[in-house]
Amino acid sequence: MNEKNIARLLQESKYTVALGGFGMLIENGYPAVRDGDESYDIEEKYGYSTEEIFTSGFYATRTDLFFDFYRNEILSALKTPPQKGYKILAQLEEKGLIQTVITRRLFGLDKRAGCQHVIELHGSVYDNFCPHCGKKYSMEYIRDAKKIPRCTECSTPIRPGVTLFGEMVDNAVMTKAAEEIEKADVLLVLGTNLNKPLCKQLIDYYSGSKLILITKNKHFSDKYADYVYYSRVDQALEKLITKL
């Protein structure tokens, strides 16, 4: 499989859905807070793992430490803007070659790059609210708070609008994602493998025969794709856009 063949499949498709995986995030320079050295450093720094801190229980009972982690390890990454992988994804959407992007990532990189039709399964750091009165708050309000960011109306700690570890994805959001997958002629899977939660949750809804996987690393689940192209996603998309 090469970029010329992928370009042809996209041009022939009436409806293409892209699944944006974790690999795109890493290519964009964002930290792997759950894996590798970053995970070890976090546990050394906070005394707890990411999986322990980034939970509703920690938000409720150790609120100050939760927000220290959230600001320092999550929101600090936003200083890095979307790079070419996400920008080219937006170009493909603008050309009408991709109809919807689905992601589990929290940083809004697809939207910030210019994608208009994005389903964020786990929410976004840009959407925050008071769990008591419902007042909405910006990412900047949480980022710039010196201590626990509290609601200006009722003093309740603001709730980041993201899915924390152990929480279920909103059923309405999952339903919308499933409906998009069902409509797809082409399913473009980017920077992940088919055994990851993003794919396992959604691929069963795809009934087509043009599942294209672009990934850097080989995996046993690659055999379930109809077409596989081994590459960094940003480099593959850069080559792909020149063929269109």
pLDDT per residue as tens digits for the range 163-186 = 999 999 999 999 999 999 999 999
Domain ranges of the chain: 3-30+83-122+163-241, 31-79
**Predicted structure pTM score:** 0.94
Q: What is the pLDDT of residue 3?
A: 86
Q: Return d(Cα 178, Cα 191) in angstroms, integer.
A: 20
A 10 A CB-CB count for 78 gives: 17
Q: Return d(Cα 239, Cα 168) in angstroms, integer.
A: 37
The answer to whether 159 touches 185, Cβ cutoff 8 Å, is no
Give 83's pLDDT tier (boundaries 50, 70, 90): very high
* 36 pLDDT higher than 60: no
- The CATH fold of domain 3-30+83-122+163-241: Rossmann fold (3.40.50)
CA 141 to chain centre: 22
Q: What is the pLDDT of residue 16?
A: 98
The answer to whether 125 touches 106, Cβ cutoff 8 Å, is yes
Q: Return d(Cα 106, Cα 121) in angstroms, integer.
A: 9
* 34 pLDDT higher than 60: no
